[in-house]
Amino acid sequence: MKRDLPSLALYAQVKEHISRKIQDGTWPAGHRLPSEHELVAQFGISRMTVNRALRELVDQGRITRVAGVGSFVAEDKPQSTLLQIANIASEIRHRGHDYRCQMLAVERVAASPDVAAWLDLRAGESVFHSLCLHRENETPVQLEERYVNPLVVPDYLAQDFTAMPPSEYLVRNVPFDQIEHLVDAVLPTAEQAEHLAMSMADPCLLLTRRTWTRTTPVTWVRCLHPASRYRLGSRFRANGNPSSG
């Protein structure tokens, strides 16, 4: 069998193989994975090695396993903490509500000094910019302004974001190594308030997120939420033995 990379551990190759199938949608949530025995035969490796790969996927929340039944692609990606917000579309649909993504802009612009610094480019270089409004039952809940590094995602402008919102497109196509979140409370500008159909006196949650692949910046995005219609949450169950406070 061919090697993807020089001497990547066998268990890691199995993990990548399965992760890819999940990520690109070949194996949707709830889909049953091949059994350990089948993977042993398929990869020509020992069961302990397959078992380690699957155990680590469980730890990462990618799959769930039931002894005597099988292994399945995990339903939700509770991810950790703030990542939940990345998938506002599925979150809204999960509540049984209508979701709509309205594109206000998709364009190529010259990077301002700020944006250039954030994306580690030179000012004036070409970057992709998008502005879109996410609606829950036609009520605006998030104004998303995004800059994307064209070196990493050259096809960004060609996508139909009304079918697949920018965040989901990036999730499915760009692997990342690092993610940074900042959360602020702000008052909206007049223009933002108008897009969000809210008062300028009402506070908003502002989530700023940057992601990297290797050490290359991929995207910088600011998500503005009327606080009365959106809150950020996370539930965490302990693995080890940390403490409360």
Partner DNA sequence: CAGTGGTCTAGACCACTCC
Partner DNA sequence: GAGTGGTCTAGACCACTGT
For residue 59, the partner it binds in its own copies, DNA, none, with Cβ less than 5 to 8 A by kind, is its own copies
For residue 10, the partner it binds in its own copies, DNA, none, with Cβ less than 5 to 8 A by kind, is DNA
- Cα dihedral sign for 189, 191, 196, 201? positive
Name which of 37, 47, 62 is nearest 10 in CA terms.
47
Q: Is 187 in the site for its own copies (CB under 8 A)?
A: yes
Are 110 and 125 a contacting pair, CB within 8 Å? yes
Residue 240 CB, nearest approach to DNA (Å)? 13
Q: Is 33 in the site for DNA (CB under 7 A)?
A: yes
Rounded to whole angstroms, how far apart are CA atoms 159 and 143? Answer: 19
Rounded to whole angstroms, how far apart are CA atoms 127 and 112? Answer: 9
Helices (H), 5-151: 10-23, 36-43, 47-59, 88-94, 113-119
For residue 36, the partner it binds in DNA, its own copies, none, with Cβ less than 5 to 8 A by kind, is DNA
Name which of 44, 38, 35 is nearest 63 in CA terms.
35
Residue 245 CB, nearest approach to DNA (Å)? 28
Q: Is 241 in the site for its own copies (CB under 8 A)?
A: yes
Which range touches DNA (CB under 7 A), out of 33-41, 92-100, 158-166, 226-234? 33-41
Q: What mask of x and - would describe binding to DNA in positions 54 to 73, judged by CB under 7 A?
A: xx---------xxxxxxx--
Backbone angles phi, psi at 90, to 5 degrees: -70, -30
Q: How many residues at the interface with DNA, by CB under 7 A?
A: 26
Q: What is the CA radius of gyration of the chain?
A: 21
Query: CB neighbours (10 Å) of residue 11?
Result: 19
Q: Is 35 in the site for DNA (CB under 7 A)?
A: yes
Site of interaction with DNA (CB under 7 A): 9-12, 33, 35-38, 44-49, 51-52, 54-55, 65-71
Site of interaction with its own copies (CB under 8 A): 15-16, 19, 23, 48, 56-57, 59-62, 77, 79-83, 86-87, 166-187, 201, 203-206, 211, 213, 218-219, 225, 227, 231-245
